[in-house]
Amino acid sequence: MTTINPYITFDGNCEEAFNFYKSVFGGEFQFIGRMSEMPEKYQVPDDQKNRVMHVSLPISKETTLMGSDTVEGLSPPIAVGNNFSISIATDSKEEADRVFRKLSTGGVAIMPMEDTFWGSYFGMCGDSFGIQWMVNFATEENN
């Protein structure tokens, strides 16, 4: 079964926002990682290394609210309408490839599907309607 989860992007206040969401919805973060944990090839400026790379907060049995901060030079500036992505979790690598290929047709592949340092098979794209998508297959049990 494919699940869809909202993914919200912030400009340095992701942790503050997610602590607020935690007070609203309850629960605990499944994961919170910092930009400092990214491989050096991504060249995160020193003053932005404590920003949130990824956070996930289950808000129901089926839905997880996810988010991150932007990083100067790695992320587009936030404007009205581009601070969210729809995150899709698939049951297989093949399904992830199929969904990504179809969504990015006529759009743009922002980050092609690839194995990541956090243990997922992951990619980001924009569709032909300007909607941003994140496609994920959790290749390790802790995802």
For residue 138, the tally of other CB atoms under 10 A from its CB is 16
Q: Which CATH class is domain 90-143?
A: alpha beta
Q: Look up the pTM and report it.
A: 0.73
Contacts 24+ apart (CB under 8 A), 76-84: 77/11, 78/9, 78/10, 78/11, 81/130, 82/9, 82/132, 83/8, 83/9, 83/10, 84/6, 84/7, 84/8, 84/9, 84/132
Mean pLDDT of 52-67: 93
**Domain ranges in the chain?**
1-69, 90-143
- Answer whether residue 55 shows pLDDT above 60: yes
111 compared with 79, residue with greater pLDDT: 111
Fold of 1-69: 2,3-Dihydroxybiphenyl 1,2-Dioxygenase; domain 1 (3.10.180)
What is the percentage of the chain residues whose pLDDT exceeds 90?
58
